[in-house]
Amino acid sequence: MRIAKFMAAAGVASRRKSEELIRKGVVRVNGRFVYDPATNVDPEIDQIYVSGRKIQIPDEKIYIMLNKPVGCVSTCSDDKGRRTVLDYVKGIDQRIYPIGRLDFTTEGLLLLTNDGELANKLTHPSHEVSKRYYVVVDSFVSPEEIKQLERGVIIEGGKTAPARIKVMNAVEDRTEMTIIIHEGRNRQVRRMFETIDKHVVFLKRISVGDINLGPLKKGEYRLLTKEEIAYLKSIK
C-alpha cells in the first residue's frame, strides 16, 4: 500500500494533504524519513510515524452522531482551552475525529469516526454531500433575496453553488427557514446571509445527506445504525 493512501485510511489527512506532509519531511518509516508519496508500506510490519506520533489503521471502525452544542470547537484539541466535541463523547476507547466541522456558535449534527477513508471521502468537494440547516435571521428576508441566495452569492472570492431554501415563517423582525447547501466553506451560511445584509441569530445543522439529527438531545451522541453507515459508504 502506498504510504499516502495508508495515511488517509488512518485518518491523518486526505491523500493529497498526506502527500504534502510526506514531502515536508515529517513522516518516518521504521526510523527513516521518507519523502516520496509513492513509497510502499506494509501496515502489518512497518512502523509509521507522522510528526512523532505512531499511526495505524484501526481494527474496529466506529461511526458516531453528536448533537453539537454552541460553545465548543469541532476539533480534537484547542490551544485556547475551549471545550471540544470530544468532551461530549465519553466512553469511546478508539481515537475518533470529526467529519468536517461546525462553527463555534453553530449547533447540530456532527459526525465523528475513526474511518479515515470515509471521512476524507465525505469532506471532498467532488462528492457534494448535502447539508441542511435550520436558520433564524433577525429581520425580514424577501422572496427576491431568497432567490438571490439560491442562485449563488460571492463569498471568499468565489460564487457559492446553488442552494435550496424553504421559508417557514417570515415577519418584520424575524425569518425562519431551512437551507440546503453542498459545500463546506468557512462560516458559509452566515456569510451568505451577510451578503444581503442579514444577521443570522441561530443556526443548527439538522441533516447530512439522508442522515437526520432527529430527537437526539443537545450535547448527546449515539452510534450510527447499520443502515446509516451503509448509506454513507454508498455515497459516490
Give catalytic residue positions: 103
Looking at this protein, which amino acid is placed at residue 202?
A: F
Q: Which three cell numbers stand for residue 159?
A: 460564487
Q: 198 φ, ψ to 5°? A: -120, 145
Query: Is the torsion defined by CA of 77, 64, 205, 153 positive or negative?
Result: positive
Looking at residue 232, the DSSP 8-state letter turns out to be: H
CA dist list (Å): 45 to 56, 109, 135, 203: 11, 38, 50, 47
Of 158, 146, 204, 162, whose CA–CA distance to 185 is shortest?
158
> Where do runs of H (alpha helix) occur along 47-154?
116-123, 143-151
